[in-house]
Chain A
């Protein structure tokens, strides 16, 4: 009877299209908004995720997230290096400053200073230049989006000169650094240069990046560093989640996106539920006739569920395809929208939510079909 169920479904074109539209709209809205939300949250932790070499981030105990800086003295770096199990520990500077271009443009930038000797913590992907070039005097690496901000319309290139706090800096590399939460250019330079660019003070070290010795768990090492230095030491995933958690708690972003996602769910469930209910209701006599002719309730149940699942599968495929297409197009339209994509986890989660929607939508209809008296067909 599966074929009959599908013919009944396809036979009512208007409702069939309405059901698919409802599911596709709901899928598109939910997956799109959750993906943008996830992309935004990942942006908050972009600089942590880019410092691939560091197992552990060490910071002042008052620091809650990566954008909240409480500088430490260089003495703290030595204390961390002295902890048993630390393979290496390097300073890391993070701050904001203003860059001036030769043509007079002014641009706020995120300035990241990495260890002069090892360059540990620099963005791993360079589209132009070499990380080693950062060791040259006055060298800096800027991200591709930042370059386009500062020199709109120009192809990314090396050798451009900017002025940072009256100091000359030359672009020796273009990185593909993760997009930051703000849209400021992300500039990497040596730790010593970064201190010059912002002006030297007694305490300037934002973080200590630590790599543990092989065989020692990073959580265990982090606890040991905290115990021995009194500083906060977090593994990079923990620090990334702490940063994301801060934005979740302290901003209205989750509420804003949550409302839209909830709307997608409610609208989807309402549209699909109502349409499916009407569809089943209009076919109730036919279902009654089938029951009279000896179709078991289990078969009827299977027919209705098959109709629901087909609608859900087609609607979901269209919706998720539209969502993926949206991100594909927007990533080409503007480099500032890079990093927004459809993660498989969101696609899978949306599939589960669509399943919930279709179960809700089917539930009322199923009940109606299951209790329909086959004698209905004898009532003219």
Chain B
């Protein structure tokens, strides 16, 4: 990738899954750029291929055809082991169900990507504390996930996604399990803490209430990107 302003470039992505005797194609030649320093949302109805696309971008799924380039690295041409290492160093994840380890404290959970990279837990937790404090979780460092609210758990997940300073942060429905207020707070924190000039954030969401946080929205339908719009977006009310 020659253009440093593009964090992720998807070219001609298709993905088929086996179904019965044949296959079903769920992505039909996606061409899609995610600019660095921006928060891009992938939106669309259930089954339109958002999750499949984000899994391919994150290097978890391999496309049937096409290329994904992240920060100049063609991850679709990497071996499985290389993809694992690439994800470890370059991708941060925020999940709908948080997926925090129930036996670890907030600080320890946030430190996991550093521990995975071989840094001792005590040292890694120290780094995580700084981020947790930055996002307002300083009073909950030693709490277990079951002692935290949904919004607080998602903040821990944001800290976990940021702690190893990845180039790309992938968020899957980060507000789906939260009420409106907590969802807004999480997005504010995400946009404030995660965005950096050399980092892109991709958010898959159904939640129209958070569209206003996006710099760019890619609308998907039937395995294709139908439209890409750029900010500003007006907040969408519940009634709308």
Contact = CB atoms under 8 A, between A and B. Distances in A.
B96 interface: yes
Interface residues of A, number: 28
Interface string A126-140: 000000000000000
A295 B117 CA distance: 9
Given A296-B81, A374-B60, A289 B95 contact: yes
Given A3-B121, A292-B60, A10 B103 contact: yes
A289 B103 contact: no
Interface in B24-48: none
A119 B104 CA distance: 72
Interface size class of B (residues with CB under 8 A): 20 to 34
B81 to A, nearest CB: 7
Contacts of B91: 293-294
Among B54, B86, B104: residue with most chain A CB under 10 A? B104
Interface of B: 51, 54-55, 58, 60-61, 81, 84-89, 91, 93, 95-97, 99, 101-104, 108, 112-113, 115-117, 121, 172-173, 176, 204
A285 B88 contact: no
Interface string A12-38: 100000000000000000000000000
A7 interface: yes
Interface in A365-380: 373-375, 377-380
Given A4-B101, A7-B101, A374-B60, A380 B96 contact: yes
Contact of B95 (A10, A11, A12, A377): A377
A23 B167 CA distance: 46
B176 A380 contact: yes
Contacts of B99: 285-286, 288-289, 377
A51 interface: no
A293 B112 contact: yes
8 contacts: A11-B101, A289-B93, A292-B93, A293-B87, A295-B88, A377-B95, A378-B60, A380-B172
Contacts of B121: 3-4
Contact of A294 (B54, B85, B97): B85
Given A285-B97, A294-B84, A377-B99, 11 more contacts: A7-B103, A8-B101, A12-B103, A286-B102, A293-B116, A295-B116, A375-B55, A377-B95, A377-B97, A378-B95, A378-B96
